[in-house]
Structure 1
Amino acid sequence: MLNDYLRVHGYAATDGDRFGWDTRIGVQAFAKDIGVLGADSVGSFDPSWVVFLPDGGVVQKVEFTVGAPAPAPGAEVVTLRSSLVDAVLLENAPPENDPPDKDGARSEPVEPTTTAAANEVLVVNGETIGLAEDRQRVKPDYLGDLASMVADGSPSLVAVLRTDAAPGEWVVPVPGVIIDPSGATCVKVRSNDGVRSVPVSIVGTTDGRMVVSGDLEPADSIAVYPTSVSITCT
């Protein structure tokens, strides 16, 4: 194990588990790099030279000072950044005054959870984040990416459920979708012969635009009208 540790960190090491001559050279070089007095004459590896972090993690704060006396056994030497173990889709952000417990964990969310539709994808800061099978949680494989986007100490961050257009569906400007007084929904398609109404059904929204289904073509030009203008689908 010692030889593996030295080798991984770029120091000389004997093959196998023996404490050979190369291991001694590697230990002395390591001791010199970390400031051990008399490093050139050490003949063994002192476990007190390193800090063992059984769970791993990212160090947020170092609790000791270089050059000061060594911390007492059992003393805190580093504070790890809280890790993200779960992420749930909520309709609203949890209260900011919900403090973490002593281990950095927070209480279960009390706001109603949101279930993403089959054709919705979760987007955070422009990046797509994978969802678990229940469509209410983030896939464990994406928690690391998500954690890098969360501000320290914040219990939540803003995300968007984006509706991707499926075959037979179209993404159009929101002002181009008309809902007239009769409840009919349509878009107006421009052509050389004028403007014609095409009935559509609203599927969802994506990036500030509307996803609709209807008898449209990729080359169709959708007319957009000011909200102050009264337009009907007839």
Structure 2
Amino acid sequence: MIVVALWLAAPVLMWLQAHDAATRIAPAEVQMDRVQLVEWVEAVTAPAALALRWEVPHSVLSPAAGRVQEVLVAPGDVLENGTEMLLVNNRTIVAFAAEVPFFRPLSYLDDGSDAAALNEMLATMGLESSPGDVVTARTVRGIKALDHRLGGGRGGGTFDPTWIAFLPSDGETVESVHTGVGDAVAIDAEIVGLRPSVESATLVDAESAPHADDGSLEAGSAAGNGRADDSMATAMPIPPDSHVELPDGTKLDIDDSGNVTDASIGAVTSASQPGDVSTAVRIVTPPSVGSVLAPAGAIYVDTRGNQCMIRATAAQGGSTTPVRVTITGYTLGGVAVRSGDLSEGTWVVSRPGQTDRVTC
């Protein structure tokens, strides 16, 4: 009989102990604070970084040989299709990102991929051209107009590839100029160095972002190449309803794998310096509807891994109960949490002691 009574009493004792742990009287010296509804206008931000990989730097080569009379570009200039670069032997050399580099003279009825590129270039420059990959009579008239524009006389309508400096892509930025007035330039001599572009950028935690001096660069590569080892850059997910932006506020388009898309890679290049292996960004999360703002020290994690706070019925002398919460963001003023057990004006223990951190 005694054994049965003890067996029945055990669960009751366990419930009473748990209830006592969950609801207790707050000591007079425990600091209390009231939680507030989240009403700040600014979004919640958290630091992060982009691990960068850079393309191999490109150059623009001279298509002609001669004496440089004028340099028409400078570091920082953006080279667009048709940009004038040099004056050599009284002829202007322009840059163009043709589908294929021009390699031969082109005359009436010539055809091929370079003839198609010539027609496209003439059209881009606002000159007569023809659709397709054949040099037509219209193409010839466009060639004559281009020849005249670049300093030629009344030529016979044959396109000369020495007029055009091949540009890897439209919109490249000049990093350095390697020729000057009075220099004798040779064919295929480097005349302009282009600013390298970011090849890929991966969102990573700010603490684990690669650095040029921490061994995270690929073996055998110079720090100036800025090619971080992929193993050092594990992509991190973006929290729901959040976005990533550069320090200047430019919003970045990032795919589900944590990689910056082509639509935003140019913005990352502009915000970075050649050789950087990472660049700072921030994750922006709007305030969550229904969240309350509480002191950061009020949060603790119980033995089950739950995020908890201790709710109180009064500022002093009231009973306390641990409640489970979900953190929705951080601010300088505290931590934003959401819980069905908290509302505006609820008292919480600001800094619960170790003995108060019971399971919620």
Whether TM-score is above 0.5 comes out as: yes
TM-score interval w.r.t. the shorter chain? Answer: 0.5 to 0.7
Q: In 2, Cα distance between the equivalents of 1:109 and 1:18?
A: 47
Corresponding residue for residue 340 of structure 2: 215
5 Å-filtered alignment, 1:69-84, equals: 69=184, 71-84=185-198
Post-superposition Cα deviations, 1:126-152, rounded to whole Å, max 9, x if no partner, equal 2332333334x3334432232222133
Corresponding residue for residue 5 of structure 1: 121
Q: In 1, Cα distance between the equivalents of 2:142 and 2:224?
A: 37
8 A contact 2:176–2:194 mirrored in 1: yes
Corresponding residue for residue 179 of structure 1: 299
Q: CA deviation at 1:158?
A: 0.9
Q: In 1, Cα distance between the equivalents of 2:224 and 2:351?
A: 58
Superposition CA RMSD, Å: 4.3
8 A contact 1:129–1:142 mirrored in 2: yes
Change (3 A) 1:115 1:180: closer
8 A contact 2:311–2:346 mirrored in 1: yes
8 A contact 1:198–1:215 mirrored in 2: no
Change (3 A) 1:128 1:205: farther
8 A contact 2:144–2:155 mirrored in 1: yes
- Is the deviation greater in 95-104 or in 45-54? 95-104
Q: CA deviation at 1:49?
A: 0.8
Q: 2:257 aligns with which of 128, 134, 143?
A: 134
8 A contact 2:198–2:266 mirrored in 1: yes
Q: In 2, Cα distance between the equivalents of 1:47 and 1:203?
A: 64
Q: CA deviation at 1:223?
A: 8.8
Q: 2:329 aligns with which of 205, 208, 212?
A: 205
Q: 2:275 aligns with which of 125, 145, 153?
A: 153
Corresponding residue for residue 115 of structure 1: 236
Q: In 1, Cα distance between the equivalents of 2:198 and 2:279?
A: 13
Post-superposition Cα deviations, 1:165-187, rounded to whole Å, max 9, x if no partner, equal 66x763x5464773389984168
Question: Secondary structure, in 3 states, of the residue corresponding to 1:133?
Answer: coil
Q: CA deviation at 1:215?
A: 2.6
8 A contact 2:245–2:283 mirrored in 1: yes
Post-superposition Cα deviations, 1:37-79, rounded to whole Å, max 9, x if no partner, equal xx2322222101111234666133332335643x323322222
Larger Cα-atom Rg: 2
Letter paired with 2:180? T
Change (3 A) 1:102 1:220: closer
- Is the deviation greater in 72-81 or in 202-211? 202-211
8 A contact 1:116–1:161 mirrored in 2: no
1:33 has 2:156 as partner: no
Q: In 2, Cα distance between the equivalents of 1:112 and 1:3?
A: 44
8 A contact 2:297–2:351 mirrored in 1: no
Question: Secondary structure, in 3 states, of the residue corresponding to 1:142?
Answer: helix
Letter paired with 1:40? G
Q: CA deviation at 1:104?
A: 3.7
Q: 2:210 aligns with which of 94, 98, 101?
A: 94
Q: In 1, Cα distance between the equivalents of 2:272 and 2:225?
A: 14
* TM-score with structure 2 setting the length: 0.46
Question: Secondary structure, in 3 states, of the residue corresponding to 1:40?
Answer: coil
Corresponding residue for residue 265 of structure 2: 143
Q: In 2, Cα distance between the equivalents of 1:206 and 1:30?
A: 61
Higher strand share: 2
Change (3 A) 1:33 1:83: same
Q: In 2, Cα distance between the equivalents of 1:7 and 1:104?
A: 37
Letter paired with 1:18? V
Corresponding residue for residue 192 of structure 1: none
How many positions carry a matched residue from both structures? 213
* TM-score with structure 1 setting the length: 0.65
Letter paired with 1:42? G
Q: CA deviation at 1:230?
A: 5.8
Q: CA deviation at 1:221?
A: 6.8
Higher helix share: 2
- Is the deviation greater in 72-81 or in 119-128? 119-128
Question: Secondary structure, in 3 states, of the residue corresponding to 2:190?
Answer: coil
